[in-house]
Structure 1
């Protein structure tokens, strides 16, 4: 492979299609590229549901948004991938090597196409990759792909840029739910599509009640996504806090979620996208990771994960081989409360 430490690209494409949390974790790499090449345009290829992550990001000039329903027609899909690939890039950074990324690479004539160490069947699509990337925090691992450029991650955190207009939208939203500007807020994310990473909703509800006993002025905003409303309602009902625990009738946008977490003094949740938004806006967070590893936790005292002392944790599995989900069901709200009180 050729030495690329001295290149001076004028247009860069970064490919990170999904999931939302992984896209947030790519923002340090985007910032590092912008710092290294301040005069270059940086474009991002991502899925439609993730595109809002890059709103207001000063490092990003353009977002190619993949709208899946519009690309069901193979001819339209190929045309789109060709348009992206032939958009005049000098450097492409692909963090995933997913099929849609590979289609773009097939049409791409960028002289440098950088990725992680690819399997043999992908190697013709890329020009450079690091032979080894050290483990650790997930955003650090992503930034490891940039090593051939002479770029090194130095604990840069993910960044979500919330505008004043978005903060005002969050303020109006909270006001409509009876939450005043003077009341401290905790955002709560009780849902996850994997049962091995979903703390029981009843535990979340009890935790909020325990927090209120110690911090009676606090209010709680429950976040949820599509098809997750019932979990949020269970948390609210088990808390017994009435209108001190609020939620929307329908899921809000990613930008509203970011602004609400930005407004909060603490975020509590499972190992899913909102925890990364908390890091991105600078709000302290407490995560109950379940089967997830610590690689998803930003290395800072402000961002804490609470895990029981079990030999099998973290297993990374989607099905509990023990059969009792002990890393979740056995973690009592009282154990998490101690961490909360240390932060707020």
Structure 2
């Protein structure tokens, strides 16, 4: 049976959807003339709006199932399984291996030691249909409008983007430690700081900005930009200092040097920056890590050592290395 109509499903969230972009590209290379549609939640449609490999991007809230020759289900949830049964007879499905994550979190039995990136696990779901790895990373496509906005918002200067937020507390580097790293950077290096996050991060971003000096070198865009406008700002950054969050994967799509802090996260889950330069900072050897495969609202051990014991000087050195900046040269007398 010829495959002429394909539906790819990934309903959430930012990072997971960005990690589907290699498979979108690879499916297009395998089926160059096919109708290739993508189904996601309405608030994430924007991420794929300008992707040239897709024919149409649908919001699941308004989607009426239609007939496809192949459905690639990269969500594999109860809802996506219902949608794929309604849409196609040939199905490729992503295997989440949640039982392995459970064993690692609950009993620290590590059956994920190979740490296969999620983007490659998406690919494994599709190999039966002749879809192959092209060796490239993730994609984000912007319009001229987003790039113009970012160009107007920033002065030409060495720029560090800081993605200080995360949905779950145990994935967030403490704001006081973040401020200590950034103030040390600003004291010795000629850089500007971009604070990036969504509307839910805005209050924390305002608090962080109030802790930094000089204020003229700190630009807080938290909650003030669309997803693609935020992506355009990341594109203009020289390096990115980030928690384990969706914006990290957008930065990776632009091949930005990334300094990422892992608290409750571990590399075995497969969510490190995909095929992009990065430095990972984590507190190794803690018996309580990982405490969750998605993150928690509080530290179950009540000590939060995975973040509190990370050395701010080591974080600073990693950021400086990523930026390739030198200290100020004192003016001659």
TM-score (normalised: structure 2) = 0.84
How many residues end up aligned between the 2 structures? 301
Q: 145-154 or 10-19: which moved more?
A: 145-154
Please, which of 31, 52, 56 is the counterpart of residue 37 of structure 1?
A: 31
Question: What does residue 324 of structure 1 align with?
Answer: 303
Distance 1:21 1:207 in 2: 25
1:209 equivalenced with 2:183 (yes/no): yes
Evaluate the alpha carbon distance shift between residue 93 and residue 276 of structure 1 in structure 2; reply closer, same or farther with a 3 A threshold.
Answer: same
Question: What does residue 66 of structure 1 align with?
Answer: 60
Alignment of 1:1-344 (within 5 A): 8-67=2-61, 83-84=64-65, 86=66, 88-108=67-87, 110-117=88-95, 135-153=115-133, 155-172=135-152, 174=153, 179-180=154-155, 182-216=156-190, 218-248=191-221, 250-294=223-267, 295-298=270-273, 300=275, 302-312=277-287, 314-317=289-292, 318=296, 319-344=298-323
Residue 257 of structure 1: how far off its partner (Å): 0.6
Distance 2:276 2:69 in 1: 39
Residue 283 of structure 1: how far off its partner (Å): 1.7
Residue 154 of structure 1: how far off its partner (Å): 5.0
Whether contact under 8 Å (1:205, 1:237) holds in the other structure is no
Evaluate the alpha carbon distance shift between residue 286 and residue 11 of structure 1 in structure 2; reply closer, same or farther with a 3 A threshold.
Answer: same
Evaluate the alpha carbon distance shift between residue 157 and residue 249 of structure 1 in structure 2; reply closer, same or farther with a 3 A threshold.
Answer: closer
Structure 2 counterpart SS, 1:306: strand
Name the Cα RMSD after superposition: 2.2
Evaluate the alpha carbon distance shift between residue 299 and residue 225 of structure 1 in structure 2; reply closer, same or farther with a 3 A threshold.
Answer: closer
Whether contact under 8 Å (1:205, 1:234) holds in the other structure is no
Whether contact under 8 Å (1:20, 1:49) holds in the other structure is no
Evaluate the alpha carbon distance shift between residue 118 and residue 161 of structure 1 in structure 2; reply closer, same or farther with a 3 A threshold.
Answer: closer
Whether contact under 8 Å (1:161, 1:281) holds in the other structure is no
Residue 113 of structure 1: how far off its partner (Å): 1.5
Distance 2:37 2:73 in 1: 12
Evaluate the alpha carbon distance shift between residue 301 and residue 214 of structure 1 in structure 2; reply closer, same or farther with a 3 A threshold.
Answer: farther
Whether contact under 8 Å (1:157, 1:298) holds in the other structure is no
Q: Point out which structure has higher relative CO (alpha carbons under 8 A, 6+ apart).
A: 2
Whether contact under 8 Å (2:94, 2:121) holds in the other structure is no
Residue 213 of structure 1: how far off its partner (Å): 2.8
Give deviations 1:120-157, integer Å, cap 9, x for gaps.
Answer: xxxxxxxxxxxxxx751121112211121233335431
Distance 1:62 1:168 in 2: 25
Structure 2 counterpart SS, 1:220: strand
Question: What does residue 328 of structure 2 align with?
Answer: none
**Unaligned segments of structure 2, at least 5 residues:** 98-113, 324-333
Distance 2:84 2:222 in 1: 42
Residue 100 of structure 1: how far off its partner (Å): 2.8
Evaluate the alpha carbon distance shift between residue 275 and residue 104 of structure 1 in structure 2; reply closer, same or farther with a 3 A threshold.
Answer: same
Distance 1:290 1:141 in 2: 23
TM-score (normalised: structure 1) = 0.81
Whether contact under 8 Å (2:249, 2:274) holds in the other structure is no
Structure 1 counterpart SS, 2:137: coil
